[in-house]
Protein backbone atom coordinates (compact mmCIF):
# COMPACT_ATOMS: atom_id res chain seq x y z
CA UNK A 1 0.00 0.00 0.00
CA UNK A 2 1.21 3.49 -0.82
CA UNK A 3 2.16 5.65 2.10
CA UNK A 4 0.76 8.88 0.66
CA UNK A 5 -1.28 11.47 2.53
CA UNK A 6 -5.02 11.61 2.03
CA UNK A 7 -6.31 14.06 -0.53
CA UNK A 8 -7.42 17.39 0.96
CA UNK A 9 -11.06 16.47 0.27
CA UNK A 10 -10.83 13.16 2.13
CA UNK A 11 -8.90 14.82 4.98
CA UNK A 12 -11.68 17.41 5.35
CA UNK A 13 -14.38 14.70 5.13
CA UNK A 14 -12.72 12.76 7.97
CA UNK A 15 -12.27 15.91 10.08
CA UNK A 16 -15.93 16.89 9.67
CA UNK A 17 -17.00 13.33 10.47
CA UNK A 18 -14.92 13.30 13.66
CA UNK A 19 -16.63 16.48 14.91
CA UNK A 20 -19.56 14.23 15.80
CA UNK A 21 -17.44 12.84 18.65
CA UNK A 22 -16.94 16.24 20.27
CA UNK A 23 -19.18 17.20 23.19
CA UNK A 24 -21.06 13.91 23.35
CA UNK A 25 -22.29 14.47 26.92
CA UNK A 26 -25.92 14.28 25.83
CA UNK A 27 -25.40 11.01 23.91
CA UNK A 28 -25.89 7.57 25.38
CA UNK A 29 -22.91 5.19 25.52
CA UNK A 30 -24.52 3.20 22.70
CA UNK A 31 -24.76 6.31 20.47
CA UNK A 32 -21.12 7.22 21.14
CA UNK A 33 -20.02 3.64 20.35
CA UNK A 34 -22.07 3.70 17.12
CA UNK A 35 -20.40 6.94 16.02
CA UNK A 36 -16.94 5.63 16.99
CA UNK A 37 -17.52 2.47 14.96
CA UNK A 38 -18.60 4.55 11.96
CA UNK A 39 -15.49 6.78 12.26
CA UNK A 40 -13.31 3.64 12.25
CA UNK A 41 -15.02 2.47 9.04
CA UNK A 42 -14.42 5.87 7.48
CA UNK A 43 -10.74 5.82 8.44
CA UNK A 44 -10.37 2.33 6.94
CA UNK A 45 -12.12 3.47 3.75
CA UNK A 46 -9.77 6.47 3.45
CA UNK A 47 -6.75 4.15 3.74
CA UNK A 48 -8.27 1.76 1.20
CA UNK A 49 -8.88 4.63 -1.24
CA UNK A 50 -5.25 5.75 -1.10
CA UNK A 51 -4.30 2.89 -3.38
CA UNK A 52 -7.54 2.54 -5.33
CA UNK A 53 -8.38 3.98 -8.71
CA UNK A 54 -11.72 5.50 -7.80
CA UNK A 55 -13.74 7.46 -10.31
CA UNK A 56 -16.17 10.33 -9.97
CA UNK A 57 -19.17 8.97 -11.80
CA UNK A 58 -22.35 10.95 -11.18
CA UNK A 59 -24.44 7.79 -11.55
CA UNK A 60 -22.48 6.51 -8.55
CA UNK A 61 -24.51 8.85 -6.30
CA UNK A 62 -27.23 6.19 -6.27
CA UNK A 63 -27.24 4.05 -3.13
CA UNK A 64 -27.45 4.14 0.66
CA UNK A 65 -25.13 6.16 2.90
CA UNK A 66 -24.32 6.36 6.58
CA UNK A 67 -24.35 10.07 7.36
CA UNK A 68 -22.91 12.23 10.12
CA UNK A 69 -23.95 15.86 10.23
CA UNK A 70 -23.78 19.16 12.03
CA UNK A 71 -26.94 21.26 12.37
CA UNK A 72 -27.48 24.77 11.08
CA UNK A 73 -27.15 26.53 14.42
CA UNK A 74 -24.54 28.11 16.64
CA UNK A 75 -24.15 24.95 18.71
CA UNK A 76 -23.61 22.83 15.57
CA UNK A 77 -25.63 20.02 17.16
CA UNK A 78 -24.67 16.61 15.81
CA UNK A 79 -26.85 14.03 14.16
CA UNK A 80 -26.37 10.73 12.42
CA UNK A 81 -28.49 8.51 10.26
CA UNK A 82 -28.96 7.18 6.79
CA UNK A 83 -29.54 8.64 3.34
CA UNK A 84 -30.85 6.72 0.35
CA UNK A 85 -30.50 8.23 -3.12
CA UNK A 86 -32.29 6.70 -6.11
CA UNK A 87 -31.88 7.80 -9.70
CA UNK A 88 -35.22 8.56 -11.43
CA UNK A 89 -33.91 9.83 -14.79
CA UNK A 90 -30.65 10.68 -16.47
CA UNK A 91 -30.13 13.70 -14.19
CA UNK A 92 -32.90 13.50 -11.55
CA UNK A 93 -32.84 11.78 -8.16
CA UNK A 94 -35.08 11.18 -5.17
CA UNK A 95 -33.67 11.10 -1.64
CA UNK A 96 -34.84 9.93 1.75
CA UNK A 97 -33.09 10.51 5.07
CA UNK A 98 -33.70 8.84 8.41
CA UNK A 99 -32.12 11.06 11.06
CA UNK A 100 -31.29 9.76 14.55
CA UNK A 101 -33.41 6.69 13.87
CA UNK A 102 -36.72 8.56 13.90
CA UNK A 103 -37.06 11.67 11.74
CA UNK A 104 -37.82 11.04 8.05
CA UNK A 105 -37.00 13.67 5.44
CA UNK A 106 -37.66 13.44 1.72
CA UNK A 107 -36.34 15.31 -1.27
CA UNK A 108 -35.78 15.43 -4.98
CA UNK A 109 -33.13 17.05 -7.08
CA UNK A 110 -30.64 16.71 -9.87
CA UNK A 111 -26.95 16.20 -10.49
CA UNK A 112 -24.37 17.57 -12.87
CA UNK A 113 -20.80 16.31 -12.97
CA UNK A 114 -19.84 15.48 -9.39
CA UNK A 115 -22.43 17.80 -7.78
CA UNK A 116 -25.85 16.81 -6.47
CA UNK A 117 -28.48 19.38 -5.42
CA UNK A 118 -31.58 18.25 -3.51
CA UNK A 119 -34.55 20.22 -2.22
CA UNK A 120 -35.81 18.51 0.94
CA UNK A 121 -38.69 18.77 3.38
CA UNK A 122 -39.91 17.20 6.60
CA UNK A 123 -42.69 17.59 9.12
CA UNK A 124 -42.02 19.20 12.47
CA UNK A 125 -42.36 17.17 15.66
CA UNK A 126 -43.70 17.83 19.17
CA UNK A 127 -44.23 21.61 19.61
CA UNK A 128 -43.59 22.08 15.86
CA UNK A 129 -46.10 19.43 14.75
CA UNK A 130 -47.97 20.50 11.62
CA UNK A 131 -45.12 22.75 10.46
CA UNK A 132 -43.30 21.77 7.26
CA UNK A 133 -39.57 22.50 7.11
CA UNK A 134 -37.91 22.97 3.70
CA UNK A 135 -34.34 23.37 2.60
CA UNK A 136 -31.67 22.59 0.07
CA UNK A 137 -28.55 20.44 0.32
CA UNK A 138 -25.57 20.48 -2.04
CA UNK A 139 -23.38 17.37 -2.14
CA UNK A 140 -20.08 16.82 -3.89
CA UNK A 141 -19.09 13.29 -4.83
CA UNK A 142 -15.45 12.93 -3.80
CA UNK A 143 -15.34 9.42 -5.27
CA UNK A 144 -17.68 6.43 -5.65
CA UNK A 145 -17.83 5.94 -1.84
CA UNK A 146 -17.70 9.39 -0.25
CA UNK A 147 -19.91 12.44 -0.46
CA UNK A 148 -19.64 15.72 1.41
CA UNK A 149 -22.22 18.44 1.59
CA UNK A 150 -23.65 21.55 3.14
CA UNK A 151 -27.25 22.56 3.63
CA UNK A 152 -29.61 25.28 4.73
CA UNK A 153 -33.27 25.27 5.63
CA UNK A 154 -35.86 28.03 5.70
CA UNK A 155 -36.30 28.07 9.49
CA UNK A 156 -32.61 27.58 10.29
CA UNK A 157 -30.20 30.22 11.59
CA UNK A 158 -29.11 32.25 8.54
CA UNK A 159 -25.72 32.88 10.16
CA UNK A 160 -24.77 29.19 9.81
CA UNK A 161 -24.81 26.29 7.37
CA UNK A 162 -25.37 22.66 8.22
CA UNK A 163 -22.82 20.10 7.07
CA UNK A 164 -23.18 16.44 6.20
CA UNK A 165 -20.61 13.75 5.44
CA UNK A 166 -21.61 10.42 3.90
CA UNK A 167 -20.04 7.01 3.43
CA UNK A 168 -21.70 4.71 0.91
CA UNK A 169 -22.79 1.49 2.55
CA UNK A 170 -21.60 -1.81 1.19
CA UNK A 171 -24.42 -4.13 0.13
CA UNK A 172 -23.85 -6.25 3.25
CA UNK A 173 -24.50 -3.19 5.46
CA UNK A 174 -27.91 -2.27 4.03
CA UNK A 175 -31.17 -3.20 5.67
CA UNK A 176 -32.23 -4.90 2.43
CA UNK A 177 -29.29 -7.31 2.63
CA UNK A 178 -29.88 -7.89 6.34
CA UNK A 179 -33.55 -8.71 5.65
CA UNK A 180 -32.55 -11.28 3.02
CA UNK A 181 -30.29 -13.01 5.53
CA UNK A 182 -33.12 -13.54 8.06
Query: pLDDT tens digit string along 114-154?
Result: 899 999 999 988 888 889 999 999 999 988 889 999 999 99
- By DSSP bridging, strand 162-168 and strand 115-123 are unpaired
**52 or 15, higher pLDDT:** 15
What gap in Å lies between CA 75 and CA 140, rounded to an integer?
24
Q: What is this structure's pTM?
A: 0.76
Amino acid sequence: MKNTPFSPQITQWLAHSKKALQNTNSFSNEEVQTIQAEIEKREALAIELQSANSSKNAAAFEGSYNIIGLNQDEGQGRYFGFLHISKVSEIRVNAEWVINGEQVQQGSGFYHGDTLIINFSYEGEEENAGKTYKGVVVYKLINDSILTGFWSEKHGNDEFLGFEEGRKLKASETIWEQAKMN
